[in-house]
Every structure is written in C-alpha cells, then in structure tokens.
Structure 1
Amino acid sequence: MECRLGCGACCIAPSISSPIPGMPQGKPAGERCIQLDDDNLCKLFGDPSRPKVCGDFVPCEDVCGSDNEQAMWLITELEHCT
C-alpha cells in the first residue's frame, strides 16, 4: 500500500516517544506533530533528523484503512490498546 499524501493520521493519532525536532520529549497520542505542515505532509521527510520510528512506518490497510478518517480511527484504537 502507498501512503495517502495529506492523510497525516500516523503523525497525529499515535504517541511517539522518540525525540522529534521541536518536540524533544516526543509527542503524546492525539497531538499533532510539530513537523506536520498545513497540508498534512511531513516537513522532515527524507531528512536524517526524522525519527527512525517515523521512517520505519509502513502503511498497510490494517492500520491505514481505506481513507484518512478510517486511518485516524484505526491508529487511535491501536494506540488505546497498547
């Protein structure tokens, strides 16, 4: 599955414990990453300062669903389960 540009669910719904430029303590679940631009695109994409956890994320239907709304719901539910 290819990432849906402009979705941003993986940059909002989950908690990220790794430091992120501008968010040295990471980010809590449900909080928008500071590196997510107004078009829901990562400002650090391809940058070596991008957290490894972000670069390692592989979109799949089980996590991302069939649209952005479903992705937000699924990732939020997964976050609650962990």
Structure 2
Amino acid sequence: MDCRMGCGACCIAPSISSPIPGMPNGKKAGERCVQLDENNLCRLFGDPRRPRVCSSFDATHDVCGDNREQALILLTRLEQATGDA
C-alpha cells in the first residue's frame, strides 16, 4: 500500500519520542508534527533529519484503513494500546 497524499495521520496520531527538527523532545500522541505542512505533507520527507521512526513507517491497510479518517482512528487505537497516550 502506498501512502495517501495529504493524509498525515501518521504525523498526528502516534507519539514520537525521538527529536524532530522544531520539536526537540518529540511529540505527544494526537499532537500535530510541526513538520506537517498545510497540505498534510511532511516537510522532511527524504531529508536525513527525518526521524528514523517516521522513515521506517510502512502504510498498510490494517493501520491506515480506507481513508484518512479511518487512519486517524486506527493509529490512535494502536497508540493507546501500545504507547503512553
């Protein structure tokens, strides 16, 4: 599965504990990453400063569902089940 252009759910729903440019302490679950632009595209895509957790994320149907709304729900549930949300 390819990422949906303009989705950005993976840049909002999960917490990220590693530093992100502009967010030295990472981000909390549900917090919008500062690197997510107004079109919900990552400003760091392809940039070596992009956190490893972000670059290693693979879009799959079980995590991303059929649309952005489902992706936000599924990723939030996964975060709640496994993270510190």
1:77 aligns with 2:77: yes
Structure 2: gaps of 5 or more residues: none
Q: Which residue of 2 aligns with 1:62?
A: 62
**What is the alpha-carbon distance in structure 2 between the residues aligned to residue 18 and residue 53 of structure 1?**
8
Q: Which residue of 1 aligns with 2:3?
A: 3
Residue type matched to 2:6 in 1?
G
Q: Helix, strand or coil for the counterpart of 1:40? A: coil
Q: CA deviation at 1:26?
A: 0.2
* TM-score of the two chains, using structure 1 as the length reference: 0.99
Superposed counterparts of 1:1-82, under 5 Å: 1-82=1-82
Deviating 4+ runs (over 6 angstroms): none
Structure 1: gaps of 5 or more residues: none
Alignment length (residue pairs): 82
